[in-house]
Amino acid sequence: MKHFRFSQQEIVFVVFAGLFLVFSIFLRGFLTTDNMLTLLQNVAVLGILGLAMAIVVIGRGIDISLIAALAVPPGLVLQMVQNGHSLPASLLTAVLLTIAFGLVNGWLIAYAEVPSLFATLATGLLLAGLGQTALFQLDVVQWSPGMDGFEKLGQGTILGIPTSIVMFAIACVVVAFLLRQTRWGAYIYAIGDNPFAARVTGIPSRPIIVLQYVITALIGCFAGLVLAASVNSMPTRIFNSTLIYDVILVVVLGGIGLSGGRGGVLNVVIGTLVIGTMLNGMTIMDISYAGQNLIKGVVLLLAVITDSFLNPRNEETAQQGDI
């Protein structure tokens, strides 16, 4: 067994391939082009969020406030348009709010040196609370006629492919380019791998950390706009949901270690595919909600156990901050 060292990514890929095969053989209507597109479409927003989370996790951080960035700025766009502002002005306001939010997160983590978990936990609550008390009249911000045309961001198709999948693909390309082709991307990996060494070698760690959180918040906002366009409203209460755990799950399941410095866009795609395949298959089988949770739990547990059997933790492989 010594030469059979699977990485988490490969294990999850095997799980995905296995699930896919079983569903294709036994589930009528699973392996059709239409259903494949639906499968992807249903997890596109989750995938975009996974990309956002991946950036900070690779930089050895975490962003619990991501769902607030998803819910509040896009909600603000819908609310402002509803109140009679123009769409471009509303979008600009939302983007500025998102950047400001990312800057606050980044400043707290990079300069005030608050651990990212606590900093983003607090700022997420702050932004969601701000939205609830000051920005929105109702939890669910409805679409208004002023938004007409904008729903194309999440509905309809481009060259036969549902738009939200195209958006996910665009986000993948952008993030992959950022991480692999730019110097900033290389810095993020360096900081994630060893923040102290990165600083010693002269990498501007603090500004790069701030940049990570700004980009993450912007991608979160983008995911929110796609979500709002696809359901014709912004259910801002989504902040109270368990979506953030699903996002972390996609990232970790895909094989991006929480200890930082490892993984990339491909991992997020695989993590998203596994979740998507599971959800789609179980919906076709009309499995009850409780049953779905049970199956999800068992599959994830199996993936984690297999990983720890094949890649046992020891002093050499364990990193500081590994969860």
Partner 1 sequence: MKHFSSPTKAIVAALGLAAMTAPALAQQGLDEPFQKPFKEALAGKTVAYVPVAMNFDLTEGWYAGLKKELEPFGVKFVIRDANWNTNAGAQAVTSLISEKPAVMVVHNPDVQTYAKLLQRAENEGIYVIQINMGSAYRSSAFVGANWVEIGERQTEAVVKACEGKSNKIAIVQGALSAAASAYTLKGVENVLAKHPEVKVVSSQAADWDAAKAKAITQTVLKQNPDLCGIVGFWDGMDIGTAAAVKEAGLTGKVFLATSGGGERKGACELVKSGAFDLNMSYDVPTQAAQMAGTIKWLLSSGAKPGSIKGSEYTTLIPITKENADSQTACWNLSDLKK
Residues found near partner 1 in the complex (CB under 8 A): 29, 32, 34-35, 38-39, 41-42, 45, 132, 136-140, 142, 144, 155-156, 162, 227, 230-233, 235, 237-238, 240-241, 279-280, 283-284, 286, 288-290
Pairing, β 157-158 against β 161-162: antiparallel
Q: Considering the complex, state which of residue 18 and residue 156 has its C-beta at the smaller distance from partner 1.
A: 156
Q: Considering the complex, state which of residue 20 and residue 189 has its C-beta at the smaller distance from partner 1.
A: 20
Q: Considering the complex, state which of residue 159 and residue 290 has its C-beta at the smaller distance from partner 1.
A: 290
Q: Considering the complex, state which of residue 139 and residue 193 has its C-beta at the smaller distance from partner 1.
A: 139
Residue 136 Cβ vs partner 1, minimum distance, rounded to whole Å: 7
The 10 Å Cβ neighbour count of residue 84 is: 8
Residue 285 Cβ vs partner 1, minimum distance, rounded to whole Å: 10
CB neighbour list of residue 210: distance below 8 Å, 6 or more residues apart: 102, 103, 106, 107, 110, 111
Residue 139 Cβ vs partner 1, minimum distance, rounded to whole Å: 4
Q: Considering the complex, state which of residue 98 and residue 280 has its C-beta at the smaller distance from partner 1.
A: 280
CB neighbour list of residue 280: distance below 8 Å, 6 or more residues apart: 23, 30, 35, 38, 39, 42
Residue 176 Cβ vs partner 1, minimum distance, rounded to whole Å: 25
Q: Considering the complex, state which of residue 38 and residue 194 has its C-beta at the smaller distance from partner 1.
A: 38
Q: Are 144 and 82 in contact (CB under 8 A)?
A: yes
- CA 258, CA 248: separation in Å to the nearest integer? 9
- CA 284, CA 26: separation in Å to the nearest integer? 11
- CA 224, CA 226: separation in Å to the nearest integer? 5
Residue 221 Cβ vs partner 1, minimum distance, rounded to whole Å: 16
Residue 209 Cβ vs partner 1, minimum distance, rounded to whole Å: 31
Nearest by Cα to 106 from 200, 199, 193, 206: 206
Return the H-helix or E-strand segment holding 140. strand 140-142
